[in-house]
Amino acid sequence: MNQLSDNEISRILELYKIQRERDRVKYEQRKKDPEFMKKNRERAKKHYEENKHNRVNKYSENKDLQKAKSSYHYYKNKDNLDKFKERFPERYELLKGINYFQLNEKKPSESIKISDDE
């Protein structure tokens, strides 16, 4: 593989930034054009109609997970997580299976040491 020098890498990045800025400006000017707006709406409608079933499938597949998360947060805010575990053991197991509790309960404010007095 080719090894690029730091100068070459910085040049490539600079050219990329310039190109992205040009594209952004071009789009900002173009999006005000009525013909572009019409074509873009038609394209978006077509995409929506063709992929409507994908959206329905996505929400139906994640329905149980969303219910479990919603219930968990409800009982967590009420400080009744024991009731959540009793009433919805299947939802609790679902969240436990994806390690949702470990990801959700980390509080950065508690793990950061502010001063030496603590």
Average pLDDT value for residue range 5-30: 96
Q: What residue ranges do the domains of the chain occupy?
A: 6-50, 63-111
Query: What confidence category does residue 1 fall into, taking pLDDT thresholds of 50, 70 and 90?
Result: low
Q: Which of 85, 63, 64 is nearest to 75 (CA)?
A: 85
How far is the CA of 31 from the CAs of 41, 83, 115, in angstroms?
A: 11, 53, 52
Asked if residues 58 and 52 have their Cβ atoms less than 8 Å apart, the reply is no
Conformation bin of residue 104: beta by default, left when phi > 0, alpha when psi is -120 to 50: alpha
Question: Whole-prediction pTM value?
Answer: 0.46
pLDDT, tens digit, 9 for 90 and up, residues 34-82: 999 999 999 999 999 999 999 888 888 889 999 999 999 999 999 988 9
